Amino acid sequence: MIEPDDEFSFLPEQAAEAGLTGPVPHGERLTLTLPDGRRLSALRFGRPSTGSGIESDAPPVVTLLHGAGLNAHTWDTTILALGLPALAIDLPGHGDSSWREDAAYVARVLAPDVAAGLEAWTDRPQVVVGQSLGGLTAAALAASRPDLVRRLVVVDITPGVDPNAGPAQVREFFAGPTYWASRDELVDRALQFGLGGGSRRKAERGVYFNSRIRSDGRVEWKHHFAHLANAMAAAAAAGHAPAAPDDALARVLGDSGWEDLARTTAPVTLIRGANGYVTAEDADEFARRVPAASVESIAGGHNLQEDSPVDLGRRIAEITAEVD
């Protein structure tokens, strides 16, 4: 299992894999203590300079929100292709952000925390890009805090997507032991489920970013959903109904956001994966309900930021230029 010098050590390797040349941006980890004592974490990337150095202090112009069970590093290669100062936030319950005791991981609950992060870490309204759960959260943010959002980009999610289209597989993948002996065991499991980006090296990177070693030496997933999925599986095996907080896992993609999209004043773009969760019928419904929005498609699956990061990053850069 790879053990990098720090969490940004992979950037040159990721750039080379994507065929991207030139300097990579400087990355730094940010932490904000929320009013209730929880921690919100994020990654800030500067703009690569055209000279020999890296501009580390360029303020973000794009903010990216990941999907359920992921973390801010899912956007690394997309940000490399983007070529703009960016902020990638670990949603509550994910990455290095604190878990919620109520397990309420739905858009309108998460949006105020994201707003607090933008107030602390940005100096201008953002092009906010959200994938899956992050897309619904971005819509809730745009509706409630229009002063923070210049443009909304929703990636492969609509409020009308069938909540059972993808989470069942995710629950099965994460509903293993709560703790593991090593990260290599998690890599093996990811590869068994056909996950991890198609190679062991990529799977190792993903596991490194999405797991942590406990004080007792055992390994656990960083995000809360693995523990919720495990609890749901255990309850089902025992013939019991899942506890109320565990219902949050099934509600993630079913959280209604049509009202949020209707209230959004910023320009809206839906980018769906050609082989993702959003079907052509879903996209048509989105266009009907949000008639001012543009609807596009990029080759790839639900996690476009990992399947087609260069195409997605460059498209986000074009969208950002349109509103400058």
Q: Catalytic positions, please? A: 132, 156, 302
Cα 194 to Cα 88, 138, 185, 191, 304: the distances in Å are 26, 29, 14, 5, 16
Beta carbons of 25 and 49 less than 8 angstroms apart: no
Residue 143 in tokens: 């509706």
> What is the full DSSP assignment across 33-84?
E-TTS-EEEEEEE-EEPSSSSEE--PPPSEEEE--TT--GGGGHHHHHHH-S
Beta carbons of 235 and 241 less than 8 angstroms apart: yes
Q: Alpha helix (H) ranges present in the chain?
A: 11-17, 76-82, 107-121, 133-144, 167-174, 183-192, 200-210, 224-237, 247-251, 258-263, 280-289, 304-307, 309-322
φ and ψ at residue 181, rounded to 5 degrees: -75, -30
